[in-house]
Amino acid sequence: HDLMAIHPYNPLEDPYSLYPHSLRNIDELCANIVRSHRETSQYRVEELHALRWKLFNREEIQAYQSKSVDEMWQHCAIRLTEAVQYVVEFAKHIPGFRMLSQNDQIALLKTGSMEVVLVRMSRFFNTENNTVFFDGKFAGTEVFKSLACGDLITAVFDFAHGMCALKLTEQQIALFSALVLINADRPCLEDKGRVQRVQRSVEFGLTHILHRDNQESLMHKLYQRVAVLRSLCSLHMEKLRWFSQRYPLTAHSLFPPLYKELFA
């Protein structure tokens, strides 16, 4: 490998760098991120694969559809918050993350945790029938009808479909998730330089495994997905503001504290 050719940044010029200085360190960085992903991913791909034809039946779909708007929002906010909690665990074990200030850790999670949940959703997605593993079975968009935000649901399902088309390995998903989270361009960072150094090490790790897998062309496609993630999250925020205005009591008293802390 000619590492400098893969990535022009020279760590030796940066005395404070967390940048891996040898191939062994890069392998170690990747292994740590992959392990953290595996340990916080709720279900293994093989388990999800085995369950992929376990669909909600007509009565069950009917039951979701007859929930009130606020009831279904509360239900989804709880599911989403559970998924976010696993992402927080994942973040804590990304090398360098815990060396950031408390403020910067929170700032990164506030903007990035929802994005990582959406990246992870592709593992929970069955492209053959456009369903996602939710509440123990696979659910199509119709299950989410009573949320009254069909455009968000359609956009989220389209995104999952597009991610699946890339056919990423678990290792690639792990490194990409870390890169989505560790982003020095997020607002409200105290020590942007330090976040940038962690970001560069993760970028380097992703470049390394794509090179190893002979799939360097994926890098460009992954950066394109990042732009879509941004728009999905602002759509989620927009829907949340709409919901909170119409159902202030539910949003205030019945949403999980972590959901409010991150998104409100």
Among 19, 56, 73, 97, which residue interacts with ligand MHQ (rule: CB under 6 A)?
A: 73
Residue nearer to ligand MHQ on the CB measure, 1 or 167? 167
What are the beta bridge partners of residue 81?
none
What are the beta bridge partners of residue 125?
132
DSSP-derived 3-state class of residue 43:
coil
User: Is residue 203 a contact partner of residue 191, using CB atoms and an 8 Å limit?
Assistant: no
Asked if 56 touches ligand MHQ (CB under 6 A), the answer is: no
- 51 φ, ψ (degrees, to nearest 5): -95, 0
**C-beta of 224: minimal distance to ligand MHQ in Å?**
21
Q: Which of residues 106-125 bind ligand MHQ (CB under 6 A)?
A: 117, 120-121, 124
Residue nearer to ligand MHQ on the CB measure, 198 or 233? 233
**C-beta of 200: minimal distance to ligand MHQ in Å?**
27
Among 156, 181, 189, 198, which residue interacts with ligand MHQ (rule: CB under 6 A)?
A: 156
Give ∠ CA 179-182-183 in degrees, rounded to 5.
Answer: 95
**C-beta of 131: minimal distance to ligand MHQ in Å?**
10
Residues 6+ apart with CB under 8 A from 148: 69
Asked if 232 touches ligand MHQ (CB under 6 A), the answer is: no
**C-beta of 140: minimal distance to ligand MHQ in Å?**
11
Asked if 90 touches ligand MHQ (CB under 6 A), the answer is: no
Sequence length of the chain is 264
- Each residue of 98-113: b (16+ CB within 10 Å) or e? eebeeebbebbbebbb
Residue nearer to ligand MHQ on the CB measure, 73 or 204? 73
Helix (H) or strand (E) holding 60: helix 58-65
Amino acid at 113: S
Structure tokens, 126:
């069955």
Name the segment binding ligand MHQ (CB under 6 A); options: 7-15, 53-61, 70-78, 196-204: 70-78
Asked if 153 touches ligand MHQ (CB under 6 A), the answer is: yes
Name the segment binding ligand MHQ (CB under 6 A); options: 22-30, 131-139, 177-185, 219-227: 131-139
What are the beta bridge partners of residue 139?
132
Amino acid at 123: R
DSSP-derived 3-state class of residue 139:
strand
Among candidates 243, 204, 257, which has minimal Cα distance to 78? 257
**C-beta of 54: minimal distance to ligand MHQ in Å?**
14
Residue nearer to ligand MHQ on the CB measure, 173 or 189? 173
Among 55, 61, 69, 83, which residue interacts with ligand MHQ (rule: CB under 6 A)?
A: 83
Residues of the shown chain interacting with ligand MHQ in the complex, contacts defined by CB under 6 A? 42, 73, 76-77, 79-80, 83, 117, 120-121, 124, 132-134, 144, 147, 153, 156
